[in-house]
Chains A and B, each alone.
Chain A
Amino acid sequence: LKAKKIYLQVPSKNGQPVLIIQANKHFP
């Protein structure tokens, strides 16, 4: 997956990691 930016926010409210994918012109 060639997305512009991929972030991992840890942890969420209930302790689960959050993976954020920002799609751009290179997506997918």
Chain B
Amino acid sequence: KLIGILDLANIGYRNIDARALITGFQFLQAYYPERLAKFYILSMPWFFVSAWKMISLFLEKATLEKVVIVSSQDERKTFIKEIGEETLPEEYGGRAKLIA
């Protein structure tokens, strides 16, 4: 199982393609069920909230339960703790280097 982190800090309003996201999620949950441990969404901009509400209507309950939208300070602390500071890159509050 893997943990997904989606950083939306640099996304723009024009880049939102809800249809592509729905297709992507549906593909992954149909062909790779149970491969996702958790999916964290960071820095979700306000204009993405309504898009996410629509996208989530098309996702399975089991998938949605794994998605965590990190917005508050408490959620951020839990996110860092669950990934582990050793693994999490510095820009997300950990101590690791981000190496492709």
On whether the beta carbons of A27 and B15 are closer than 8 Å, the reply is yes
Residues of B within 8 A of A16 (CB): 1-3, 37
Say which size band chain B's interface belongs to.
Answer: 20 to 34
Residue B54 lies at the interface, judged by CB distance under 8 Å to chain A: no
Residue B64 lies at the interface, judged by CB distance under 8 Å to chain A: no
Residue B7 lies at the interface, judged by CB distance under 8 Å to chain A: yes
On whether the beta carbons of B8 and A23 are closer than 8 Å, the reply is yes
Residue B6 lies at the interface, judged by CB distance under 8 Å to chain A: yes
On whether the beta carbons of B20 and A20 are closer than 8 Å, the reply is no
On whether the beta carbons of A7 and B100 are closer than 8 Å, the reply is yes
Question: Of the candidates A6, A12, A26, which one forms a contact with B15 in the assembled complex, judged by CB atoms under 8 Å apart?
Answer: A26
Residues of A bordering B, CB below 8 Å: 1, 4-7, 9, 11-14, 16-28
